[in-house]
Structure 1
Amino acid sequence: MAYETWSKEALIARLTELEAEKESAPRKYPWKTFDFSSYPRRKIALKFCYSGWAYNGLAIQLDPTPLPTVEGVLFEALAKARLIDRDAGLEGCGWERCGRTDRGVSAGGQVISLWHNYTLVLNRILPSTIRILAWSPVAPDFSSRFACTSRHYKYFFAPDGLDIPRMSEAASLLVGGHDFRNFCKLDPTKQLTTYRRRIISADIKPVAGGTAVGMHVLDLKGSAFLYHQVRHIMAILFLIGAGLEPPSVVTALLNVEVGAEGDPSLPVVDTRPEYQMADALPLMLYECHYSPGDVKWQAEQETDAELGAGLFHQMHSIQARSELFAALNREFLTAAAAHHVPPTSYLPLTATGFVPDGKTPMNVPLGGAEFRRSVKYTPLLQRNRGDHFEVVNERWRVGKGARRDERRKLLEDDGDE
Structure 2
Amino acid sequence: MRNICMTVSYDGTAYHGFQVQPGKITVQECLEQGIKILTGEEVKVISSGRTDAGVHSRGQVFNFVTASQIPVERWALALNARLPDDIVVRHARIVPDHFHARRSAKRKTYRYTIRYGKYPDLFKRYMEFHHPTRLDLDEMREGLQHLVGQHDFVSYCSVRNTKKSTVRTIYEARLECDPWDEDLKSTAVHIYLSGSGFLYNMVRIIVGTLLQVGEGKRTSLDMRSILEAKDRASAGPTAMPHGLMLWEVFYPE
Instruction: Tell me if TM exceeds 0.5.
Output: yes
Match of 1:69 in 2: 26
Percent of residue pairs bearing the same amino acid type: 28
Task: Evaluate the alpha carbon distance shift between residue 85 and residue 208 of structure 1 in structure 2; reply closer, same or farther with a 3 A threshold.
Answer: farther
**2:213 corresponds to which of 240, 265, 289:** 240
Per the TM alignment, residue 187 of structure 1 is displaced from its structure 2 partner at its CA by 3.2
Match of 2:104 in 1: 147
Tell me whether 1:249 sits opposite 2:222 in the alignment. Answer: yes
Whose strand proportion is higher, 1 or 2?
2
**Mapping of residues 398-409 of structure 1, within 5 Å:** none
Distance (Å, rounded) in 2 between the aligned partners of 1:54 and 1:271: 33
Residue 280 of structure 1 pairs with residue 236 of structure 2: no
Higher relative contact order (CA 8 A, sep 6+): 2
TM-score (norm 2): 0.85
> Residue by residue, what CA displacement relative to the aligned partner does 1:303-361 show, whole Å, maximum 9, x if unpaired?
xxxxxxxxxxxxxxxxxxxxxxxxxxxxxxxxxxxxxxxxxxxxxxxxxxxxxxxxxxx
CA distance in 2, matches of 1:205, 1:181: 26
How far off its partner does 1:85 sit? 1.5
1:100-115 equivalences under 5 Å are 100-115=50-65
What letter is aligned with 2:195? G
Q: Which runs of 4+ in 1 moved over 3 A?
A: 208-213
Please state if 1:162 is matched with 2:135.
yes
Task: Please identify the structure whose Cα radius of gyration is greater.
Answer: 1
How many pairs were matched up? Answer: 227
Native 8 Å contact 2:113 2:188 kept in 1 = yes
Q: CA–CA distance in 2 between the matches of 1:105 and 1:69?
A: 11
Task: Using structure 1 for the length normalisation, give the TM-score.
Answer: 0.52
In structure 2, the CA distance between the partners of 1:191 and 1:283, relative to structure 1 (3 Å rule), is closer
How far apart are residue 214 of structure 1 and its match? 1.5
Aligned to 1:50: 10
Q: Which residue of structure 1 lines up, in the alignment, with residue 170 of structure 2?
A: 199
Distance 2:231 2:198 in 1: 18
Retained in 1: the 8 A contact 2:7–2:59?
yes
CA separation in 1, counterparts of 2:139 and 2:233? 21
Alpha carbons of structure 1 residues 191 and 109: separation in structure 2 relative to 1, 3 Å: closer
What stretches of structure 2 of length at least 5 have no aligned partner?
Answer: 118-133
Instruction: State the SS of the aligned residue for 1:159.
Output: strand
Q: Given the alignment, which residue of 150, 153, 168 partners 1:177?
A: 150
For 1:166 and 1:285, the matched residues in 2 are separated by 25
C-alpha change, 1:203 and 1:191, in structure 2 (3 Å) is closer
- For residues 251-400 of structure 1, the aligned pairs below 5 Å read 251-255=224-228, 269-273=229-233, 275-292=236-253
Q: CA RMSD in A?
A: 1.9
Q: Whole-Å Cα distance in 1 between the matches of residues 180 and 249 of structure 2?
A: 24
Counterpart in the other structure of 2:36: 79
Alpha-carbon deviations, 1:56-91, whole Å to 9, x = none?
100011x212xx100011111110111x523xx52x
2:97 alignment partner, SS class: coil
Q: Offset at 1:207?
A: 2.5
Q: How far apart in 1 are the matches of 2:192 and 2:213?
A: 17
SS in 1 for 2:142: helix
CA distance in 2, matches of 1:270, 1:155: 23
2: distance between equivalents of 1:151 and 1:71? 19
| Kept in 1: contact 2:153–2:230 (CA 8 A) | no
